[in-house]
Amino acid sequence: MKAASIPSREAVLIVKEGKPENRRLPGISNTVMEKRFIIFIILTFLVFIGFQYLFPPTQIPAPQQQPGAQAEYPASAPYDSAPAAVASENIESPATEEASPEDTAVDAQRIIIDGDLYTAVLDNRGGVLTSWELKDYHTTKRHRDDESRAFNMITGASRNEGLYPGALMLPDAAATATANNEYYQVSIEGVESANEGKLSPPVAVKLTLARGDLRIEKIWSFDNDNYTANLLISGTKAGKPLEGRFFLSEDIGPESEHFITSRAAGLTSVYFSGGKVRRESPPKDPQEPKRLEGDIRWAGIDLQYFSMIAIPKYPFSWFNIQTTHLRQTGVDGNEIERNLLKVMLPLNTGSSGGEADYKLYIGPKKQENLRLTNSADLSRVVDYGIFSLLVYPLLAALRWIHQFVQNYGAAIVLLTFAISVILFPLRLKSMLSMRKMSAIHPKVKAIQDKYRQYKATDPRKREMNQEVMALYKEHGVNPMGGCLPLLIQMPLLIAFYSLLAYTIDLRQAPFIWWIQDLSVKDPFYVLPIAMGLTSFISQKMMPMAPTTDPTQAKIMMIMPIFFTFIFLNMSSGLNLYFLCSNVFQVALQKIAERWIPKDATPQVPAKAKSKKR
């Protein structure tokens, strides 16, 4: 993008001082600088976007379970399979050991809480949450004819081990089995009667268990205006406060949800400590729980579009995560191994031991709902990256346009057009800079030919660089004028990528015809191929510096093909954005070419003319 050689800062200083030294290289040519800049842009783009597709995380084969091995706190015995959502009903209780008069003795019971945003199911066996269906979100269909169901946050792999949110993990194995397998006595607070066997929030369900010297009380309180519930756990063992952990989750949503493409959507642990949102991937060793420490204000498990977060009444200093390996079949029918992430939180978070008081958020990563949580602002659970400040106005603009067009695909097209128009002055400036560079190229080449006979280490090469810079200054040409406008656009492009990749509004949002979900790849690859073709046309039309190396020019022509392969498995929304961006850039450039004379020669500034006289 530059037409000649530019001296390094060190070289210019040395000449001014009149003390040339041979230990430094004479200067960096514009061709070399141009190559480095292009390599920098390409590497930045690849690292940010292409890395997750070209180098997926290595999965460790699931180890064979060793007899006798157990975790620090033993897990409970598996639950029996049961329907997720049925009305509150009595089920014949299994045979148990003879109970003392003080012990609770009740039958199995499931309680349904039917709110405006969700339907939850509590099971008095273990006093746990066995289902949490989101009414406004649905599962991804395997096939076009499949019936879409409400998205259940708790179905999935956690059912295989028999652990549900609210299960206890105590130091004593017998106490753990009792706490998680016995039936709790149920009492309902806040309502006098249920509608068709369903409770309407706000409502509190109290579950109590007494077995020998073990006493446990769990109070689940459900909200109606958000995806939240409160869980208060207290208990004693032999008169002493309970110690241990309670199970939050190890997965989110149905198994197939993690395999919308051939690559698994990764689970991460997310928590707030030291004033920052921190994220932790599943540990490599599945045998040992990993302990995370700090002044922790909230913690949970995170997926691309959904999260399950626990906010304690009082901050806690540690929690555990543990990996479980699993092989499952995804939406595309391929069997892939992925990592589950078990999150276990401490029981003793209250002012007295043996008590845990948590507000649970179980729902979509939508900014409006995350901010409505009274106990904490969870909006930063959505990770938009280093340019998040640019993402929020873009998201607001996208939603504002959607109000009028009622189609997120059309909203992306219109917002892309607006961005292209806003960025067009920068692109026009780059084009003008290229034209100026081309106009003075014969003079630059004459200077280079004059010094061609000298070696690169010869001090007179620095004089050549000085003459070239003086020529640029005389004609008002900025050597970086062609590159800087492109560099300024990069943060906005990256911000728009993050917006399209992590905004739940685009999940299952249709566009036209075969594009029924902008958050997944184009099933027929029409958009990425069209994006590649328009990228090639745009690259062909973009003027290059006169000194551009032929090999470099060929590489730039190949790049659209390379990026097409990268974008094949990217979301339809992202492909639509880049396709429209290329089309609008080509159209605006053709319009601009009518304003720029092809033989435009940069005028010498008045000050430069007076100095020459």
| 9 has a pLDDT exceeding 50 | no
- Residue 372 exposed, middle or buried by CB count within 10 Å (0-12, 13-18, 19+): middle
**Whether 252 contacts 303, CB under 8 Å:** yes
What tens digit of pLDDT does each residue of 427-441 get? Answer: 787 777 777 777 787
Task: Say which amino acid occupies 223.
Answer: D
- Tokens 């656009």 locate to 489
- Residue 237 exposed, middle or buried by CB count within 10 Å (0-12, 13-18, 19+): buried
- Tokens 């959502």 locate to 85
For the chain, give the mean pLDDT. Answer: 77
What tens digit of pLDDT does each residue of 498-550 get? Answer: 898 889 999 999 999 999 999 889 999 999 999 999 988 887 776 665 555 56
Mean pLDDT of 105-117: 94
pLDDT of residue 142: 56
DSSP state of 348: -
| 264 has a pLDDT exceeding 50 | no
Measured CA to CA in angstroms, residue 158 lies from 192, 296, 512 at distances of: 33, 25, 37
Task: Say which amino acid occupies 188.
Answer: I
| 155 has a pLDDT exceeding 90 | no
18 pLDDT tier (thresholds 50, 70, 90): very low
CATH node for 90-383: 2.70.98.90
**Rounded Cα gap, residues 496 and 574, in angstroms:** 9
Q: Compare 426 and 406 and report the one with higher pLDDT.
A: 406
**Rounded Cα gap, residues 55 and 340, in angstroms:** 20
**Rounded Cα gap, residues 68 and 45, in angstroms:** 49
| Most confident option among 138-142, 307-311, 344-348, 427-431 | 307-311
| Angular region, 258: left φ>0, alpha ψ -120 to 50, beta rest | alpha
Mean pLDDT of 239-259: 86
Using the Cα atoms of residue 113, residue 116, residue 118 and residue 119 in order, give the sign of their dihedral.
positive
Q: Compare 194 and 187 and report the one with higher pLDDT.
A: 187
Q: Compare 579 and 35 and report the one with higher pLDDT.
A: 579
| 10 has a pLDDT exceeding 60 | no
Residue 285, number of CB atoms within 10 A of its CB: 12
**Rounded Cα gap, residues 550 and 552, in angstroms:** 5
* Helix or strand holding residue 309 (H, E): strand 306-312
The three-state DSSP-derived secondary structure of 479-540 is CCCCCHHHHHHHHHHHHHHHHHHHCHHHCCCCCCCCCCCCCCCCCCCHHHHHHHHHHHHHHH
Domain spans, the chain: 5-55+399-608, 90-383
Q: Which of 373-377, 486-490, 605-609 has the weakest average pLDDT?
A: 605-609
| 573 has a pLDDT exceeding 80 | yes
**Rounded Cα gap, residues 6 and 461, in angstroms:** 11
**Rounded Cα gap, residues 346 and 149, in angstroms:** 34
With pLDDT > 70 as the criterion, what percentage of the chain qualifies? 70
Using the Cα atoms of residue 323, residue 324, residue 329 and residue 331 in order, give the sign of their dihedral.
negative
pLDDT of residue 363: 96
Measured CA to CA in angstroms, residue 581 lies from 76, 253, 339, 346, 534 at distances of: 55, 35, 37, 50, 9
Mean pLDDT of 590-608: 61
**Rounded Cα gap, residues 187 and 221, in angstroms:** 12
pLDDT of residue 39: 55
With pLDDT > 90 as the criterion, what percentage of the chain qualifies? 41
**Is the bond leading into 602 cis (omega within 30 degrees of zero)?**
no
**Whether 371 contacts 392, CB under 8 Å:** no
Entry pTM: 0.77
What tens digit of pLDDT does each residue of 31-61 get? Answer: 444 455 455 555 555 555 554 444 444 333 3
- Tokens 């073709």 locate to 533
pLDDT of residue 22: 39
What tens digit of pLDDT does each residue of 63-104 get? Answer: 333 333 333 444 433 333 333 333 334 434 443 444 566 788
At 263 the three-state DSSP class reads coil
